[in-house]
Amino acid sequence: MSCCFSLSCLQSVLLLVSLSLFAFYKWATSTFDFFAKRNIPFDEPIPLLGNLGEIVFRKGTLFHIIRKLYTKYKKQRYFGRFNLRSPFFTITDLELIKRIGVKDFLNFPNHSIIIDPEDEPLFGRSLFMLKDQEWKDMRATLSPAFTGNKLRQMLPLISKCCHNGCDYLKEGAARDGQVDMDINEFFIKFTIDMIATTAFGVEVNSLKDKDNEFYKISKGVVQNSFLTTMRMLLAVVCPKLMRFLGISVIDKKLTTYFRSLVLDTIKYRAEKGIIRPDMINLLMQAQQGNVNPEEPEHDSNHGFAAVEESHFGLRSVNCKWSDEDIVAQCFLFFAAGFGTTSLVLSFCAYEIMANPDVQRKLNAEIDTTRKNLNGKPIIYEELQKMKYLDMVISEVLRKWAPLGATERICTKSYQIENEDTGETVKIEAGDTIEFPIAGLHYDPEYWSDPEKFDPERFNDENRQKIKSFTYLPFGIGPRNCIGSRFALMVMKTIVYHLLSEFTLEKSTKTEIPLVLAPAGFQHSSKGGFWMTVKPREI
């Protein structure tokens, strides 16, 4: 009898497991007929993973995936891609990119990734996650932080971090005559210090003091970046499950630290009457209603890659921002700028090292600028006059754009046409579109020999020939990267200081050509960014 009972229980368990797996499979694949029903080309997705299997199985990056699919379907005006279970209309036609990203922006004003601020206030209340009117108000609040006048004021803070970095390299070279290093580690510490001083008002030197609290907390974010990314994906796909399990995208210790840091700094400055040219000062003004828009500087050359601020960021705002809003923007400045800036700088150093002719031209321009300054520190105006430096940074951002794609969610029903078949496809509210940046930047139709690093693409003559919307390193339209000018200033400043005093050469660990790491949502070098840093003989 007991044997029969046990067998019956086993059968019931197996049946329950089978039904559960079947239900999970149906849910995991329930959206996979989305493009087939609309007669839109797409690659067959993997259950639950969609077209991201290469990332999960560590065989490729999002950069790889976007390039591969774009190359396969570029003759279409659009094609389908599954971001896990979510169908993305991927737009390849330049005119359609312009229409959706700029002209008809009000149909696509928000990002598709939305994190509930009740669960994740640091992410949920940040500019990236805010929607509609709240996004417009916050964009207008933050825009004055990135005008030419504010950038000029922040440049000395960034230069100080550059000097600390160069002093660290000098000390290493004094011992051995040179420094063999994975320069990504150097740029990570530099970027942490730079964001600490410009966003949080904290002066640290992580290259010398590895035990400072800001560095230790920030390093924890870097080490857990893949885990953080997976948590964020789960928060988007299964927010109720994350809430039920009590799992946060950001570690509670990190949340508590940044909140205390920002609010304690605001309180101290208010009590002491301290004014400092950084993000916290601007946000303090915003809380008091003292932020006014500045007129755009149309005649100022911030760099070819810089994006123009839209009218959303050029208006007065009468909002009272909460403490959580203030902390969220500081954290976004850290999260968005930290990983991308250090990585793009690493790719930049690699290309300079791997292309000696480029390094020689940069050195010549830097030496001319230093002579014109006559021993004085670099100033914003002189930095913007350095044409070849801008060409190098522009080409780095083409070849190694921080994002493989950027997305938007539709809020009003919209129609796109297939010019070959005459068919019309309707994009409904709630559907997601994306612009394939990695594909556009490597399209040989727009960029001859796209694998080659060639700053001359961006000289005065050639930049006039670049087709609009084929170059999108900082996104597109009103929802582009608000910090593009700041990022360009940071990259130019550190390259200026670094090459003023050092040369970058191959080391025994250098891999040329560079091979991308086979996994991740953000591309990096498989073997690191190893090189030899030597003091210049001037």
Longest dimension (CA), the chain: 98
pLDDT at site 518: 82
pLDDT at site 48: 86
**Tokens 């003023």 belong to residue:** 500
* Spatial CA neighbour of 483 closest among 402, 407, 366, 391: 402
Say how far apart CA 231 and CA 253 lie, in whole Å. Answer: 16
Say how far apart CA 498 and CA 502 lie, in whole Å. Answer: 6
pLDDT at site 299: 45
> In this structure, which topology does domain 38-535 adopt according to CATH?
Cytochrome p450 (1.10.630)
CA dihedral sign of residues 55, 61, 65, 66? positive
> Per-residue pLDDT for the chain (538 aa), expressed as one digit of tens each?
556 657 677 777 888 888 888 888 898 899 999 999 999 999 999 998 899 988 878 888 899 999 999 999 999 999 999 998 999 999 999 999 999 999 999 999 999 877 778 777 888 899 999 999 999 989 988 888 888 888 999 999 999 999 999 999 999 998 889 999 999 999 999 999 999 999 888 899 999 998 898 888 887 665 555 666 667 666 666 777 777 777 777 777 888 888 999 999 999 998 999 988 888 888 888 777 666 655 555 545 778 999 887 776 666 676 778 888 999 999 888 888 888 999 999 999 999 999 999 999 999 999 999 999 999 999 999 999 999 999 999 999 999 999 999 999 999 999 998 776 778 899 999 999 999 999 999 999 999 999 999 999 999 999 999 999 999 999 999 999 999 999 999 999 999 999 999 999 999 999 999 998 887 778 889 999 999 999 998 6
Reduced to 3 states, what is the DSSP secondary structure of residue 523?
coil
The reply, when asked if residue 330 is annotated as ligand binding, is no
pLDDT at site 356: 97
Read off φ and ψ for residue 206, nearest 5 degrees.
-70, -20
Pairing state of beta strands 432-435 and 424-427?
unpaired
Q: Buried b vs exposed e over 276-314: b needs ≥16 C-beta within 10 Å?
A: bbbbbbbbbbbbeeebebbebeeeeebbbbbbebbebbb
Say how far apart CA 442 and CA 203 lie, in whole Å. Answer: 40
pLDDT at site 147: 86
Backbone conformation region of residue 48, classed left if phi is above 0, alpha if psi is from -120 to 50, else beta = left
pLDDT at site 296: 53
Say how far apart CA 525 and CA 48 lie, in whole Å. Answer: 28
Q: Distance between alpha carbon 440 and the CA centroid of its chain, in Å? A: 17
Q: Buried b vs exposed e over 520-538: b needs ≥16 C-beta within 10 Å?
A: bbbbbbeebbbbbbbbeee
Say how far apart CA 417 and CA 430 lie, in whole Å. Answer: 19
CB 180, CB 509: distance < 8 Å: yes
**Token pair for 139:** 């964009």
* Spatial CA neighbour of 455 closest among 383, 380, 388: 388
Q: Where are the domains of the chain?
A: 38-535
The CA angle 418-422-423, to the nearest 5 degrees, is: 70
